[in-house]
Structure 1
Amino acid sequence: MQNFSRTQIVWLKIDCPYDGSLSTLCKSFLKAIDDLLGTRYLETFGYANRVTSTMMLHMTPLASIYGIGVLVIDEIYHLLNSKNDMEEMLNFFVTLSNTVGIPTVLIGTSKAQKIFKGNFRQARRAASEGSIIWDRMDKESDEWSFFLEILWDFQCLKENTILTDKIRDAFYDECQGITAVAANLFILAQERALSEEEEKITIEILRATAKEDLHMIQPMIKALRNNNMKEVIKYEYISISLEDISVNYKRDIELIGKFSIKKM
């Protein structure tokens, strides 16, 4: 017997460039491999060949050599900003799937659906392996109950807050079952409790955190709370800068600590 050594990339994720450039998308593929393996494919195939079709031909053997299991392309709604014709972009994904020869998963917000509307051929191909619309979790679902109970185990305050029905109702009311908002609300509520020397999660702290720290997404949360889909569409994508908010809390906590030291 002889040992067989081979490097395999089980999955590869790249982000669609903000300007929707198909050439840059191909370069992102090459760079992602370079970042993982320390190779120089971007320098070899990316900068020398600016033609998208040529770079796509180089992507094919690389996908085979490293046995890439699936290619994930995130933020595909950026393609709407592309200077290319919409039909050209749709053809690109068909060709990419045929040429590279690996499963391709496209991820984006609801805005990305505009890319496929009006083109039966691409819509059929996009949904050939199934399509999933990831909606918010329902308040009464087992999924939400399981998620919240697991999340609640990560409390890091001195006093452990029991997950009562009132806490559950208030928490869902402020995040509306959106995973990212729920996680951020949970983290920020604890940081607020620390800064206010509460050391426990209360309904009042949850409400104050949502109102003040997550004020940018309140219009969207309100629209979801009222089940007003016309308003929800207006807020297609809102990001939360958790790091910026956390820095403010850390500064407050540091100042409180310094004051305490001086008093002793």
Structure 2
Amino acid sequence: MRVICAGIQKTGTKTMAQALRILGYEVHDVFQQYFYEKDIWYKIMDNTATAKDIQNALSGVDALTDLPGNILWEQLHQAFPDAKVILTVRSTEDEWYESVRNHYEVTNSLILFRNETIISLLFFIISGKIRRGFSEFAQIFIPASLGTQHMLGIPPSAVLRSRYRQHNLYVKRKCPKENLFVYNVKDGWGPLCEFLGVSVPDIDFPAKNVRAEFVKEVASGTSPADCDFGKITIQETKIRLSKIALLCVLAITVLFVIY
């Protein structure tokens, strides 16, 4: 592990992931962390993971961005004390909050119903193994990060803002100064490459997940960076709906024959 990105969500985590990949790092973002390292995150949350466990689980990874590595950065840094820690921040707290708000609005716009009971029922009926597993994963780590459940609507501004301040202040206070870099992705390649000790690449600095485009890509199964999570969950839903349709046809046929 060479780089731990401790920035909370909506501070340019997808942009950081792409920038580090361009620089040649093997980067695991949220979906890679779910598919490949899920067990170690649960062990860390249960306080049963040793430094050796963490080192073994992440032996082939150069950098982590987004959940849950960003909120478990301290345990990661204890296991990898030579790793550099990058705390991504926004220009202002208001800018960060508006980005979170937009993310929730985009997510809500993809939901057909506004009743949580109906949503829970439909989720139970049509969701497959991968989608259910990721939902459980998110229900643990999103509240741990943002201080609020991932729910319908938009979480209270005061809660989100408080968590943003608390997280940033804690990282700045606890991380050794020689390992820490507080960074705004708007500053581009120069400061980042200087901190990492690498050459500036001959390519424009990336800009990912602008206006929550990543959410739409995952939902449509077109994201190049979700380990095919979107495609898999769409296929799972189609299969479950097909089975439900078949059962309905069989039930109707049986009723027709009986009556």
TM-score, structure 2 as length reference: 0.26
Q: TM-score, normalised by structure 1?
A: 0.25
Greater Rg over alpha carbons, structure: 1
Which gives a bigger RCO, structure 1 or 2 (Cα 8 Å, sep 6+)? Answer: 2
